[in-house]
């Protein structure tokens, strides 16, 4: 049997070197690190490493999912990509342009290529602005628009997201949750971006409305060749939306795979646990048959355990896991950071036996 971290010849491969999409990627993130100062003791500053050596690329027109428990670093990764929080290290390029080291006009131009859709349409829209002003704001910030351009733009964007033209004079509180998210999407589209970062875009919505918004996002993607960085804790939504998925745990990517590999043959014990918590997905072939509960709480992010950061909760940890941090390695389809993935017995079996 071929090791999952090996190429066709059976050799272990470096994921960065095998990422076939790297050359043509719209967004490339390399070894991104974000740390927050969370106090000091006896003059020694304490830091929380929210994002640790995170690397990924997204091809034009692709949707990359970021999943993981609360506090795993998904939002901070996205904010650092957009330079809304400072990165301590790493590089981010958008369409080949260096995002972390540019300024002035170049930064403004790059920001227009990248927009956000947030989780909570209730709090992310300015309640004092009419819907048309909310949607046009990213453009009016750039300079004055003629009345006819404003009218044409707002009608075009409202139509694109399924809002009626007469709704443009209403205030955000006069819309339903789903409609408010449509306003958020129209606003994100205003600068004609190439990349949209969707941070839990449907988690505040009812299930029926969720699917309408997800379908809208998919339609817009195919019409406009949009690229999405899609953050969600809901694996059902991720399965519906994403081409590839990065699983984050305590600031690190622990598994990175195309959708089919991740859902059919998950590798990392943490991914197994996340999948086994979703009954409809758990029925699938690759997930461990028994439900795997992740014991305990995540470790204190300021004092991570040595070795593998999942060690305190992993049902199949061995001595090596306490000493050595596993690195992400594998094929272009699936990379995993776990010492035990090299063993002949599949992780699924180890978990089931344990």
Interacting residues with ligand ATP (CB under 6 A): 36, 38, 48, 50, 68, 70-76, 233, 301
Q: How far apart are CA 62 and CA 59, in angstroms?
A: 5
For ligand SF4, which is the closer residue by CB, 46 or 320? Answer: 320
Look at residue 301 and give the partner it binds from ligand ATP, ligand SF4, Mg ion, none, a contact being a CB closer than 5 to 8 Å depending on partner kind.
Answer: ligand ATP
Per DSSP, what are the bridge partners of residue 57?
28
Closer to ligand SF4 at the Cβ: 21 or 347? 347
> What b-and-e string marks burial along 121-158, b requiring 16 or more CB atoms within 10 Å of the CB?
beebbeeeebbbbbbbebbeeeeeeeeeebeebbeebb
**Size of site (CB under 6 A) for ligand SF4:** 13
Q: Which residues lie below 8 Å from residue 353, measured CB to CB, with a gap of 6+?
A: none
CB of 324 to ligand SF4, least distance (A): 8
Residue 330 binds ligand SF4, judged by CB under 6 A: no
Spatial distance between the Cα atoms of 100 and 81, rounded to a whole number of angstroms: 8
What distance in Å separates the CA atoms of residue 140 and residue 162, rounded to the nearest whole number?
22
Please report, as ranges, the residues that interact with Mg ion according to CB under 5 A.
75
What is the nearest approach in angstroms of ligand SF4 to the Cβ of residue 1? 19
Scanning residues 88 to 107, which ones bind ligand SF4 (CB under 6 A)?
Answer: none
Q: Which of 193, 202, 310, 351 binds ligand SF4 (CB under 6 A)?
A: 310
Instruction: Please choose which of ligand SF4, Mg ion, ligand ATP, none residue 352 contacts, taking the beta carbon within 5 to 8 angstroms, the exact cut-off set by kind.
Output: none
* Residue 20 near residue 13 (C-beta atoms within 8 A): no
- Alpha-carbon gap, residue 253 to 55, rounded angstroms: 8
According to the binding rule CB under 6 A, does residue 314 interact with ligand SF4? yes
Query: Can residue 292 be called a binding residue for ligand SF4 (CB under 6 A)?
Result: no
Residue 196 or 351: the one with the smaller Cβ distance to ligand SF4 is: 351
Compare residues 165 and 236 and give the one whose CB is closer to Mg ion.
236
Specify the stretch interacting with ligand SF4 by CB under 6 A; choose among 44-52, 54-62, 155-163, 336-344. Answer: 336-344
Residue closer to ligand SF4 (CB basis): 89 or 327: 327
Among 4, 172, 269, 286, binds ligand SF4 (CB under 6 A): 269
Return the number of the residue (181 or 271) whose C-beta is nearest ligand SF4: 271
Q: Which is nearer to ligand SF4, 311 or 329 (CB)?
A: 311
Closest to 65 (Cα-Cα) out of 241, 222, 236, 266: 241
Q: Kindly state whether residue 339 participates in binding ligand SF4, applying the rule CB under 6 A.
A: yes
Minimum CB distance to ligand ATP, residue 43 (Å) = 20
Strand order in the sheet with 97-98: 44-59, 25-41, 89-94, 97-98
Adjacent-strand bridge partners of 59: 25
Nearer to Mg ion, 71 or 346 (CB): 71
Judge whether 58 and 26 are in contact, CB under 8 Å. yes
List residues bridging with 336 in a β-sheet: 255, 329
In angstroms, what is the minimal distance from the CB of 37 to ligand ATP? 8
Any contact of residue 340 with ligand SF4 (CB under 6 A)? Answer: yes
Instruction: Tell me whether residue 350 is exposed, middle or buried, using C-beta atoms within 10 angstroms of its C-beta: 0 to 12, 13 to 18, 19 or more.
Output: middle
CA distance 347 to 339: 10
Edge-to-edge order in the sheet of strand 252-258: 114-117, 195-199, 227-231, 63-67, 244-249, 252-258, 334-336, 329-330
Question: Residue 30's CB: how many other CB atoms inside 10 A?
Answer: 16
Q: Among residue numbers 208 through 237, which ones bind ligand SF4 (CB under 6 A)?
A: none
Task: List contacts with ligand SF4 (CB under 6 A).
Answer: 268-269, 308, 310-311, 314, 316-317, 321, 326, 338-340
């Amino acid at each position: 049997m071929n090791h999952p971290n090996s190429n066709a010849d059976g050799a272990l491969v470096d994921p960065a070197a095998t990422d076939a999409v790297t050359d043509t990627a719209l967004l490339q993130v390399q070894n991104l690190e974000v740390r927050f100062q969370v106090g000091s003791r006896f003059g020694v500053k304490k830091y929380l490493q929210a994002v640790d050596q995170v690397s990924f690329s997204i091809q034009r027109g692709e949707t990359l999912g970021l999943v993981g428990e609360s506090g795993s670093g998904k939002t901070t990764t996205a904010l650092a990509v957009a330079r809304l929080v400072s990165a301590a290290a790493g590089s981010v390029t958008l369409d080949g342009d260096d995002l972390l080291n540019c300024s002035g006009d170049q930064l403004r131009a790059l920001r227009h290529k990248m927009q956000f859709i947030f989780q909570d349409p209730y709090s992310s829209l300015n309640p004092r602005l009419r819907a048309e002003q909310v949607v046009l704001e990213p453009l009016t910030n750039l300079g004055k628009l003629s009345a006819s351009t404003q009218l044409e733009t707002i009608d075009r964007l409202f139509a694109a997201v399924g809002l009626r033209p007469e709704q443009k004079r209403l205030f955000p509180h006069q819309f339903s949750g789903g409609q408010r998210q449509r306003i958020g999407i129209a606003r994100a589209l205003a600068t004609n971006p190439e990349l949209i970062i969707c941070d839990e875009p449907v988690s505040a919505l009812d299930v029926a409305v969720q699917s309408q918004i997800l379908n809208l996002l998919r339609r817009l993607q195919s019409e406009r060749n949009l690229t999405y960085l899609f953050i969600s804790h809901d694996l059902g939504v991720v399965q519906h939306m994403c081409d590839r998925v990065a699983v984050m745990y305590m600031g690190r990517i622990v598994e990175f795979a195309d959708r089919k590999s991740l859902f059919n043959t998950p590798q990392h014990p943490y991914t197994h646990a996340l999948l086994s918590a979703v009954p409809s997905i758990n029925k699938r072939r690759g997930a461990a048959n028994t439900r795997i509960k992740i014991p305990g709480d995540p470790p204190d992010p300021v004092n991570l355990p040595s070795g593998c950061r999942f060690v305190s909760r992993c049902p199949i940890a061995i001595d090596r896991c306490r000493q050595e941090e596993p690195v992400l390695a594998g094929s272009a389809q699936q990379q995993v950071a776990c010492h035990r993935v090299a063993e002949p017995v599949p992780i699924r079996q180890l978990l089931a036996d344990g």
